Structure 1
């Protein structure tokens, strides 16, 4: 497990937690976010479910999304987490988070938020995407995901996790980071 430089969740006084598992397609976001939701008893959401049908069709054709298509998608997620019906529901979210501006929009949802940035080299990610079945995104889009990625630097609520390690090691590292840096506030210690 690698050391982490004292990450600070955004909105530290909020009562509701949001764990955002981010990274390029094929980094293992959905798998880790689901495992964390199960571990903590949080709701699990996948950012892919917030895409419009037009965006899904475009990616299935191997065409990358541009920012004009990504922004409404990000706003739907932000609005979901800000909605009164969802206040008080702790959640994990699998979300690419390729752009800093998009990460900022989710910070604006008002939850105590910690981002787990899953990273690896492009060859490892391409191998994973080439060998997965049942996902709408064309494998040819891996390079465009890396090209679009604004790597999170100087963002205090982001923790980098190398996903070349075995999944159980990645999961244990994520749990340790969350326990230490997100769930230490008094309002969440009874979870």
Structure 2
């Protein structure tokens, strides 16, 4: 048997890092925040307020794909966090990996904006959130992808994810 990765994905402000970390604890898995895998040039570009383009994201997505591959090859299990807004990005992460499941944290723009306004010390302009929604290619019918609504508490969302992952595992075995 080989290892596996769960990639928690969605737009900014949907709770990827918080939910991903809680999910990893709940499942007893390694936690990897995709933001920590950006190459230096991307970090410098973002720090200067410049948005990343697809060419900038390519080496970052390769690092995420390689992290998933490493987990699989070492028979380890992990939770990775990555926005993965476009199908092409998700396909890049899937490439060469057998056991990657995406969890799409699904919430509408009003809910995301409301949550972001409540965050202490976090400031994201509304137009940046809008831009993320415009970029998002919903993964509704993609294989090995689970869509989970983010309404409710962090604990409720994590519980929904655990339930859906258990269902997916049962249906694979059946």
Output the TM-score relative to the length of structure 1. Answer: 0.78
Tell me the equivalent position of 1:11: none
CA distance in 2, matches of 1:183, 1:134: 42
In the comparison of the two structures, how many residue pairs are matched? Answer: 171
Tell me the equivalent position of 2:26: 39
Aligned ranges 1:96-135 → 2 under 5 Å: 96-133=83-120
Tell me the equivalent position of 2:137: 150
Q: Name whichever of 122-131 and 142-151 sits farther off.
A: 122-131
Tell me the equivalent position of 1:17: 4
- Identify, as 1 or 2, the structure richer in helix: 2
SS of match in other structure, 1:92: strand
Q: Does 1:73 align with 2:60?
A: yes
Q: Where do 5+ consecutive residues of structure 2 fail to align? A: none
Q: Where do 5+ consecutive residues of structure 1 fail to align? A: 1-13, 187-191
CA distance in 2, matches of 1:132, 1:70: 27
Instruction: Give the C-alpha shift of residue 183 in structure 1.
Output: 6.7
**TM-aligned CA distance change 1:39 to 1:184, over 3 Å:** farther
Output the TM-score relative to the length of structure 2. Answer: 0.85
- Over the residues paired in the alignment, what is the CA RMSD in angstroms? 2.4
SS of match in other structure, 2:2: coil
SS of match in other structure, 2:101: strand
Higher relative contact order at CA 8 Å, sep ≥6: structure 1 or structure 2?
1
**TM-aligned CA distance change 1:104 to 1:170, over 3 Å:** same
CA distance in 1, matches of 2:115, 2:162: 23
Q: Does 1:139 align with 2:124?
A: yes
